[in-house]
Amino acid sequence: MNKLAKKIDTAKGKWEKLKENREPIVYIGAASCGRAAGALELKEAVKAFLDENKKSARVIEVGCIGPCYLEPLVDIKMPGEPRVSYNNVNAKTLQMILKSHFVNGEPHKKLALGHFGTEDFDGIPRFWDLPMLKPQVRIVLRNCGLVDPEEIDQYLAVDGYQGFMKALKSTPEDVIATVRQAGLRGRGGAGFPTFRKWTVCRESPGEQKYLICNADEGDPGAFMNRSLIESDPHAVLEGMLIAGYAIGASKGIVYIRAEYPLAIERLKRAIGQMREYGLLGKNILGSDFSFDIKIKEGAGAFVCGEETALIGSIEGKRGMPRSRPPFPAIAGLFGSPTIINNVETLGTLPNILRNGPDWYTRFGKEGNRGTKTFSLVGKIRRPGLIEVQLGTTLREIIFDIGGGVQKPFKAIQTGGPSGGCLSEEFLDLTVDYESLASAGSIMGSGGLIVMDDDTCIVDLAKYFLDFTQKESCGKCVPCRVGTKHILEILQKITNGDGTPDDLLALRTLGDTIKKGALCGLGQTAPNPVLTTLRYFRNEYLEHIKDHRCRATVCKPLIEYRVIKEKCTGCQSCVRVCPTGAITGPRSEPHNLDPSKCIKCRSCYEVCRYEAIAGDAIVIRTAESRS
Amino acid sequence: MPEQIRRILGKHGRSPDELIPILQDIQAAFGYIGEEQVKAISRYLRISENQVYGVSSFYAQFRFTEPGRHGIKVCLGTACHVRGGGTLLDSLEHGLGIHCGETTGDKRFDVDRVACLGCCALSPVVQIDRDIYSRMTVNKLTELLKNYE
């Protein structure tokens, strides 16, 4: 313990120095999404600027602070001043910002987004007071974007591994009791009480027990786990130590998607640092507890998010679920008792252990304690990664945090492909496990996709079924055959060939799959269809009876037209049309030959963004069909 | 057995749970899983070629044909779908004259769909080799491809 105590002292000293910062610091948000928005190019440009102007500063890559729509983010902290954040930085504004701070000695007030200080600073708003951040409660994400994910010292300095050390000082049974009092439920989606699973595993006989961290975030439209691992890997790993100690496991495995290379890299580095600090291996910190962590890369199968399928995949088999019981807590990986916890569940544990269960129960509501992270995306003004207390309403999430929708709001999908699509009347529904289930949806792992009038509900249901049908492992008939049939009916409807009987068939199929499928994938696969049928029946009927897709999404039901009165004949669309469907000489209204048009949207985009007229090409319901 | 395969196999143990990590290393080295590799793995792990193929064909990560010089992955996650990812894929397939999972005749590009790249807030996104391009449009994508030979 002494060795680590010394390291913690050094880490805290380093952190204080960093906070005092005699040297300026430039923070760059460089998680995957920041990088996609150009963060690494900015980092090079910062270095070049410093060299050129003979200035010195520390340049630190941090993770994701959440508001993805502001990416790339660059923060600057000058000595004696609070850290100032700048959003949507590009090569040009970067130069202006750097010049302002390093040459003129003042923040660039016009471009500044917010500052991290406590007091007023030059009239710049406080970062945490921004409308997207103010309603949030950050427990799991507390370090994201604030510490360097590649430095264990920074994690130690913000009380990292304190929760684990507290756990080590008590018995495993006490740790389980603490988690029970905190009321923590699994954040992977089902909401099963974490302590109950642990108790079963703890009490199961067996020399060897395993703890698996499920980071196979397969939900399309969800990136909470990726962001957390990329921004604060040690929080998840500390959670694994705590869970491993509680259940009596000596081996931990992180099962993570291969599509997340940066997260894997940061995990590997973090595990190396833990080993160096004596936080992994035999008799950790002089206790009886021995634990080691390995990384297993998933190979791309959505069904592997299901516990038994995940275990199969680690064993080197096809990732197909098996029937339960026996539950993995009794007979899991290689037949040994195994606990599988989601990334977020594990990331929450250090906070519960460090601050105590009473502190944790202050958040959320009865039966749904604590917070939940969500990736808020789709047709929303302020997409990003958020964390709110359970019991927050959908309205608060969409409108207060997300800033609302540009076009009229239509629906929100919770729980990814296994969840349901909820209409406007549910906006005041509170986000908790039971309320969402009562509306026919699920909490899921935390993807929230907002849709507006431009989204076709039938097409969306088809999209989800296309996904689950492809990802169905094929083991049980209801899922393998049922999802295929549903998909075919939905295809028929979006092609304009549906009949009113199809709606009944969809209901029957959906109910049957829910009852008969072997695993969670199948049992929840019909949810998107069943909820849209319930809440958006009219849109289905419009497709069937009127052959009309009001969102102009379903290709067989729409056509592209040139509005002759508006077209200035600028030729922009003629140049981009891949099939030569648009013709006409310059300065004269163009012709669009519907028989050649493949509805690829090129001309529509060009007309809106680049052409002179701006709105001469329209997409509308095909006349021949209605 | 070619040296390169032997070297990869040598880094792994012979227990069946090594199969997926071996396949991942082979694909990283060769770009795809070929017949010769399947045979070598089967002998090394003492499981049938069918088992090797059965496992590898189950997972989306593995491919069995030679990839192009540049891999294009169109993200069809939910966020990308509602913002037009499907249209991007359609026009890409039309433009290159191939379908998803295929490689162009000149081996310049191969096209695939991917369930989610986790950059949902920047949707729709397309990945070319290791780079992720955000907020794509059909025309931006057409222009972008010209940079890859």
Q: Tokens representing A52?
A: 């050129």
Nearest to A75 by CA among A123, A28, A39, A14: A28
Q: Percentages helix, strand, coil for chain B, rounded to the nearest 5?
A: 50, 15, 40
Strand A58-62 versus strand A25-29 pairing type: parallel
Q: Cα–Cα distance between A32 and A225 in angstroms, integer?
A: 12
Interface of B with A in 90-109 (CB under 8 A): 90-91, 94-95
Chain B hits for A598, Cβ within 8 Å: 90-91, 94
CB-based contact A220 B81, cutoff 8 Å: yes
Q: Cα–Cα distance between A201 and A199 in angstroms, integer?
A: 5
Q: Cα–Cα distance between A294 and A237 in angstroms, integer?
A: 11
> Which domains, and CATH codes, for chain A?
2-129 (3.40.30.10), 161-356 (3.40.50.11540), 371-452 (3.10.20.600), 457-546 (1.20.1440.230), 555-621 (3.30.70.20)
Q: Cα–Cα distance between A419 and A272 in angstroms, integer?
A: 38
Whether B118 shows a pLDDT value over 80: the answer reads: no
Q: Tokens representing A477?
A: 């008939």
CB-based contact A598 B94, cutoff 8 Å: yes
Q: Cα–Cα distance between A359 and A526 in angstroms, integer?
A: 39
The closest CB to that of A383, out of B20, B59, B120, belongs to B120
Chain B residue with CA closest to A64: the answer is B119
Interface of A with B in 54-73 (CB under 8 A): 68-69, 71
Q: How many residues does chain A have?
A: 626
Global pTM value: 0.94
Phi/psi of residue A589, nearest 5 degrees: -55, 135
In the numeric block, the tokens 């102007």 are attached to A53
Q: Tokens representing A306?
A: 């299901």
Kindly report the CATH class assigned to B70-145.
Answer: alpha beta
Residues A216 and A305 sit within 8 Å (Cβ to Cβ) = yes
Residues A466 and A529 sit within 8 Å (Cβ to Cβ) = no
Chain B residue with CA closest to A572: the answer is B139
Burial of B131 per CB tally in 10 Å (0-12, 13-18, 19+)? exposed
Asked if B13 has any chain A CB less than 8 Å from its own CB, the reply is no
Phi/psi of residue A393, nearest 5 degrees: -85, 160
Asked if B125 has any chain A CB less than 8 Å from its own CB, the reply is yes
Q: Tokens representing B62?
A: 């593995």
A374 contacts: CB under 8 Å, gap ≥ 6: A224, A385, A386, A387, A388, A397, A446, A447, A448
Q: Cα–Cα distance between A336 and A329 in angstroms, integer?
A: 8
Chain B hits for A384, Cβ within 8 Å: 121
Chain B residue with CA closest to A35: the answer is B132
Bond prior to A594 in cis (omega within 30° of 0):
no
Nearest to A446 by CA among A258, A255, A134, A218: A218
Asked if B76 has any chain A CB less than 8 Å from its own CB, the reply is yes
- pLDDT of A624 reads 59
Helix ranges (H only) for A495-526 are 500-516, 520-524
- pLDDT of A34 reads 87
Nearest to A217 by CA among A317, A308, A344: A344
The amino acid sitting at A196 is R
- pLDDT of A1 reads 57
Phi/psi of residue A532, nearest 5 degrees: -70, -35
Chain B hits for A219, Cβ within 8 Å: 116
Nearest to B17 by CA among A294, A241, A372, A344: A294
Domain residue extents for chain B: 3-58, 70-145
H/E segment holding residue A411: strand A409-414
B52 contacts: CB under 8 Å, gap ≥ 6: B19, B23, B38, B41, B42, B45
Chain B residue with CA closest to A383: the answer is B121
Burial A176-187 (b: 16+ CB within 10 A, else e): bbbbbbbbbbbb
Asked if B50 has any chain A CB less than 8 Å from its own CB, the reply is no
Helix ranges (H only) for A517-587 are 520-524, 527-535, 537-541, 572-576
**Closest approach of B39 to chain A, Cα-based (Å):** 17
**Closest approach of B45 to chain A, Cα-based (Å):** 11
In the numeric block, the tokens 């162009």 are attached to B104
A530 contacts: CB under 8 Å, gap ≥ 6: A420, A440, A506, A507, A510, A511, A514
Going edge to edge, which strands form the sheet with A292-298? A292-298, A251-257, A210-215, A338-342
In the numeric block, the tokens 């049974």 are attached to A173
A543 contacts: CB under 8 Å, gap ≥ 6: A458, A493, A494, A496, A498, A549, A554, A557
- pLDDT of A625 reads 54
Asked if B129 has any chain A CB less than 8 Å from its own CB, the reply is no
Q: What is the DSSP string of A579-626?
A: T--EE--TTS--EE-TTT----SHHHHHHHHTSSSSSSEEEEE-TTT-
In the numeric block, the tokens 């966020």 are attached to B79
Chain B hits for A37, Cβ within 8 Å: 122, 134
Q: Cα–Cα distance between B81 and B76 in angstroms, integer?
A: 5
- pLDDT of A614 reads 78
Q: Tokens representing A371?
A: 């917070």
Asked if A402 has any chain B CB less than 8 Å from its own CB, the reply is no
Strand A447-452 versus strand A74-77 pairing type: unpaired
Burial of A173 per CB tally in 10 Å (0-12, 13-18, 19+)? exposed
Report long-range pairs for B28-33 (Cβ below 8 Å, ≥24 apart).
Answer: B29/B4, B30/B4, B31/B63, B31/B66, B31/B67, B32/B62, B32/B63, B32/B64, B32/B65, B32/B66, B32/B67, B33/B62, B33/B63, B33/B64
Interface of A with B in 251-310 (CB under 8 A): 258-260, 296-297, 299-302
CB-based contact B78 A384, cutoff 8 Å: no
In the numeric block, the tokens 């990003």 are attached to A384
B15, B19, B20: best to mutate for the A interface, most A CBs within 10 A: B20
Q: Tokens representing A496?
A: 């304009």
**Closest approach of B37 to chain A, Cα-based (Å):** 17
Nearest to A528 by CA among A468, A605, A598, A451: A468
- Coil, helix or strand at residue A90: coil
Tally Cβ neighbours within 10 Å of residue A52.
9
Residues A431 and A393 sit within 8 Å (Cβ to Cβ) = yes
Chain B hits for A316, Cβ within 8 Å: 15-20, 55
CB-based contact B121 A379, cutoff 8 Å: no
**Residues of chain A under the 70 pLDDT cut:** 1, 624-626
B74 contacts: CB under 8 Å, gap ≥ 6: B80, B85, B88, B89, B92, B111, B112, B113, B114, B124, B126
- Coil, helix or strand at residue A515: helix
Q: Cα–Cα distance between A198 and A186 in angstroms, integer?
A: 11
Chain B hits for A451, Cβ within 8 Å: 82
Phi/psi of residue A454, nearest 5 degrees: -80, 0
In the numeric block, the tokens 């594990």 are attached to A346
Burial of A610 per CB tally in 10 Å (0-12, 13-18, 19+)? middle
- pLDDT of A626 reads 47
Interface of A with B in 462-521 (CB under 8 A): 463-464, 467, 471, 473
Q: Tokens representing A209?
A: 């027990």
Each residue's pLDDT tens digit, B36-85: 999 999 999 999 999 999 999 999 999 998 999 999 999 998 889 988 89
